[in-house]
Amino acid sequence: MKPVLLQLGPVSVRAYGTMLMVAFVVGILWMMREARHRGITRGQVVDCALWVLVGSIIGSRILFVLLNWKDYTAHPANVVRLDMGGMSFHGGFLGALVAGYIYSRAANIPFARLLDTAAPSIPLGYAFARIGCYLNGCCRGCETTLPWAVRFPDAAGNLGPPVHPVQLYASLCGLAMFVVLLKLKPHVRTPGHLGIAFVVVYSVYRFYIEFLRHGVSAQPLWFLPDLTQAQGLSLVLIFGGLATILLWPPPTQPAPTEEAKPDSQKRRAAKRSPIRR
């Protein structure tokens, strides 16, 4: 745990914010690589990323504060203290979707194409962002006796019980999701399905990893206290995403006209024709 990476006089370079910026830059670079094959320019990627950055920060902070409102009633000024951590991935993803949709309309880019372009970069950036959570000491796991358990200090500096380093688990899972999306990409025929596949894969991962956070940093679901709020939302996203993929079939390709056929096909068709000139 190292929440402050560098102290420059009164200025603290905090690990959480630094790793968020690293995640953002890595995500942009990968999205630029994907954009080359989808008719999107680098300039459009940068413009979109700026919109998404603002939308994700606002969305993630709003949802986190709403879910933990009791913690902020006594100190409302802490609502804007992003350096203290406290961001919701689901809120950030929703904010990023809204911002990305607004930008796609302004730039006249199909939103589904933009979503597929960004899909692999999200888990790649997520892997770096969760390292920031580990250094910051937030989003920690439940107690365990495993040999790789970690003990985080409390506010007084006293070491707590050994817990799962779920932040590092999440980082590894982010890399695994990135690889899965790269494997799926050649088989996706419908625009938007790669982005939806990310939502499904992430939700499956989040549902299971919440069991290692339960009772520590995750809040219980009000009508199913054995599950957390994130698990309830994950189930909705899993079934909703799968239903969308099944009900949104790949586009049908119209048969090419004679003029659109390649010259090789035209020559083969002429050889098979029974009419002699």
pLDDT tens sequence across 96-109: 999 999 999 999 99
pLDDT of residue 194: 94
Q: What is the pTM of this model?
A: 0.80
pLDDT of residue 277: 44
Q: Which residue has the higher pLDDT, 200 or 250?
A: 200
- pLDDT tens column, 54-88: 998 888 888 877 777 777 777 777 666 665 556 77
Mean pLDDT of all residues belonging to the chain: 83
3-class secondary-structure state, position 27: helix
DSSP label at 143? B
CA distance 55 to 245: 26
Task: Provide DSSP, 194-255.
Answer: HHHHHHHHHHHHHHHHGGGTBTTTBPBPSS-TTSBHHHHHHHHHHHHHHHHHHHSPPPPPPP
Phi, psi of 163 (to 5 degrees): -130, 165
Tokens found for residue 194: 């790669």
Element at 103 (helix H, strand E): helix 89-107
Q: Which residues of 5-38 are buried (b: 16+ CB within 10 A; e: fewer)?
A: eeeeeeeeebbbbbbbeebbebbbebbbebbeee
Nearest-5° Cα angle at 10, 127 to 15: 10
CA distance 87 to 69: 13
